[in-house]
């Protein structure tokens, strides 16, 4: 099966300043891995039009899909929609269907549909809606770029609606090998194994607990037979060096 790739663009000054902890990238990574899409890159930019345009244009030509989070709310610094429209060279305006959805939503709640709230109906011309079952303000799809909210619960709900529309790829299988010694002991040998199994991604992750260093070795591949062979080789190496 073909490799399907993705990137994420996280947008918001509040992320870069540390006022809000970013939670959406980890969720997206887990979902993409589960459906066989390789998340290759995550970028974070502030509420800056030029930075958003530059990042979107770089990512959308490099990867199968791009997912953004943040910057589609009702305040003055929510500039994601017009910035992405400019990245595609498209006009943007208040989407009629989005205005209808939001107008009805606020009317049912007895809340005024203010000019600020109407900002959430803006999107590039020709964009497709991404349904938002929580707060109703839709995200949108333009080209291969999925534009979604930054609030984690809403981002996750939107992503649930996007996943069935995606072309999936090869699902990666994963194995974990516990190694009771640190990376310094196994580094050279593990590097040689990686050379022999270039089609298997091998990562080593140092751990520290109860005054002792140890290593978790994770192997990933879409080919189960190659993964089995690599795992056997890694376990033999661990037994020899740590036995």
Q: Which domain-ending residue is among 136, 165, 194?
A: 165
Q: Which domain-ending residue is among 147, 165, 183?
A: 165
Contact 92, 81 (CB under 8 A): yes
Q: Is 69 helix (H, G, I), strand (E, B) or coil?
A: strand
**Which among 76, 163, 72 is positioned nearest to 124, based on CA atoms?**
72
Q: Is 222 helix (H, G, I), strand (E, B) or coil?
A: coil
Residues sharing a CB contact under 8 Å with residue 83, sequence separation 6 or more, in sequence order: 49, 52, 53, 56, 71
Task: Report how many domains make up the chain.
Answer: 2
Strands (E), the chain: 4-11, 37-45, 65-69, 92-94, 122-124, 128-130, 139-142, 145-148, 173-179, 201-209, 212-221
Same structural domain, 37 and 155: yes
Same structural domain, 74 and 16: yes
Q: Name the band, by pLDDT with cuts 50, 70 and 90, for residue 3.
A: confident
Report how far residue 199's alpha carbon sits from residue 3's, in angstroms, rounded to the nearest whole number. 13
Instruction: Give the mean pLDDT of 189-210.
Output: 90
CA distances from residue 28 to 31, 33, 148 in whole angstroms, order as listed: 5, 8, 12
Report how far residue 243's alpha carbon sits from residue 229's, in angstroms, rounded to the nearest whole number. 20
Report how far residue 206's alpha carbon sits from residue 185's, in angstroms, rounded to the nearest whole number. 11
Q: What are the pLDDT digits (tens) for 33-62?
A: 888 899 999 999 999 999 999 999 999 999
Q: What per-residue confidence (pLDDT) applies to 209?
A: 76
Q: Name the band, by pLDDT with cuts 50, 70 and 90, for residue 1.
A: low
Q: Kindly report the number of other CB atoms within 10 A of residue 167's CB atom.
A: 12
Contact 201, 220 (CB under 8 A): yes
Residue 2: pLDDT above 80?
no
What's the whole-model pTM score? 0.82
Q: Is 237 helix (H, G, I), strand (E, B) or coil?
A: helix
Same structural domain, 82 and 185: no
Which CATH number goes with the domain that contains 226? 3.30.70.600
Which CATH number goes with the domain that contains 127? 3.40.980.10
Same structural domain, 177 and 161: no
State the residue range of the domain holding 195.
173-242
Please calculate the CA angle 69-161-171 and round it to the nearest 5 degrees.
90
């Amino acid at each position: 099966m073909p490799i399907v790739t993705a990137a994420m663009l996280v947008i918001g000054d509040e992320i870069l300043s540390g006022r809000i902890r970013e939670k959406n990238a980890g969720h997206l990574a887990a979902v993409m891995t589960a459906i066989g899409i390789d998340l290759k890159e995550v970028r974070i930019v502030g509420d800056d039009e030029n930075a958003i345009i530059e990042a979107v244009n770089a990512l959308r030509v490099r990867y199968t899909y791009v997912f953004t989070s943040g910057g589609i709310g009702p305040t003055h610094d929510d500039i994601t929609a017009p910035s992405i429209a400019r990245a595609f060279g498209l006009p943007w305006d208040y989407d009629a269907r989005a205005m209808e959805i939001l107008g009805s939503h606020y009317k049912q709640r007895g809340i005024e549909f203010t000019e600020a709230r109407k900002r959430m109906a803006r999107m590039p011309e020709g964009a497709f809606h991404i349904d938002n079952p929580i707060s109703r303000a839709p995200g949108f799809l333009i080209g291969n770029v999925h534009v979604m909210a930054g609030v984690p619960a809403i981002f996750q709900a939107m992503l649930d609606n996007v996943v069935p529309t995606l072309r999936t790829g090869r699902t990666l299988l994963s194995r974990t090998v516990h190694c009771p010694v640190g990376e310094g002991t196994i580094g050279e040998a593990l590097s040689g194994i990686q050379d022999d199994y270039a089609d298997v991604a091998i990562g080593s992750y140092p751990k520290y607990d109860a005054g002792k260093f140890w290593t978790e070795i994770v192997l990933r591949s879409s080919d189960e037979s190659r993964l089995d062979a690599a795992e056997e080789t890694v376990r033999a190496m661990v037994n020899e060096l740590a036995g």
